[in-house]
Copies of this chain bind each other. A is one copy, B any other.
């Protein structure tokens, strides 16, 4: 079966970056202690400390869902509430994993741009019934950065949300499945988006940007890390040969390439948006801030795409395109061409 040629479905349909494969091969030397007690994992921890300019404890794992669930469980109590946006990935596309690992209830709130609003969060927490045993007790705030709709929280927005959360006794978890795209787009440092704003735990994904099933739980407060090894083992999240994931993560942030790839993917999406929205009948559903586009377009354009060598997702009447780190330039051109021809036939 031949996969379609130009694939805009998601960044996780892409492959591995060359240096990631090299890192796996390079890690295959000698023996190493299992379960993360190895030199690759120690080097990876040191690298992350440098990149994040902060003491960290980093746990390698293979699943983004697992990474979010473990990150939240580190903050958890078993009769608790995790506050998040209605559209947060943990609330919509993880089949209840965060609830399973934490025993908590997810409380979704609305908010423009798919982002929580500090005042609304403050009000909700004020009404949460702290100390009332008939109510789940708030313990964590989740910020999805970027959001699943490709919007970004500026550092000041994250800081404001963390301030509200901490004032109400919550700790803050950031779902950074596309963290590279956020750092690249905002032109700031990893620290600027995390602990400097008040984030306590980050689930950083490398898979969508060139790694192979390599994710990291990055903990900025050592107290929060104490229970993680047990929770990971109990959740089937500990890797027997962890060195091969840690080696990827270490290499991933070792130089600028992770951000170069993210910058290029973001730029591709911006270019696509520019060219497509120049066409009559094509409009953005959400602002294009990273490597994702949500568009509304004429039926004829959708029909043309469906005939062509394209793969992408539909969400009701809208379409979504995601630019991968390994996007072929020809695919970008072909996509624009196809939509343009459908709307403004060249003959």
**Chain A interface (Cβ < 8 Å from any Cβ of B):** 1, 3, 7, 9-10, 12-16, 21, 24-25, 28-35, 39, 42, 62-67, 69-70, 77-80, 92-97, 99-101, 103-106, 133-137, 207-208, 212-213, 227, 229-241, 244-245, 311, 324
**Smallest beta-carbon distance A3→chain B, Å:** 6
**Smallest beta-carbon distance A312→chain B, Å:** 12
Nearest neighbor of A32 in chain B, beta-carbon distance:
B13
Q: Is the CB of A66 within 8 A of B3?
A: no
Cα(A231)–Cα(B103), bound, Å: 11
Cα(A227)–Cα(B77), bound, Å: 10
A101 CB contacts on chain B under 8 angstroms: 236
Q: Is the CB of A21 within 8 A of B28?
A: yes
A7 CB contacts on chain B under 8 angstroms: 30-31
Known A-B contacts A134-B94, A230-B133; A240 and B63 likewise in contact (beta carbons under 8 Å): yes
A16 CB contacts on chain B under 8 angstroms: 28, 241, 244
Known A-B contacts A62-B63, A78-B231, A105-B106; A133 and B35 likewise in contact (beta carbons under 8 Å): yes
Contact of A239 among B33, B63, B240 (CB under 8 A): B63
Cα(A31)–Cα(B311), bound, Å: 10
Q: Is the CB of B63 within 8 A of A133?
A: no
Cα(A96)–Cα(B79), bound, Å: 6
Q: Is the CB of A235 within 8 A of B236?
A: yes
Known A-B contacts A12-B241, A79-B95, A213-B241; A234 and B100 likewise in contact (beta carbons under 8 Å): yes
Nearest neighbor of A106 in chain B, beta-carbon distance:
B105
A29 CB contacts on chain B under 8 angstroms: 15
Known A-B contacts A15-B29, A21-B28, A213-B239; A99 and B95 likewise in contact (beta carbons under 8 Å): no
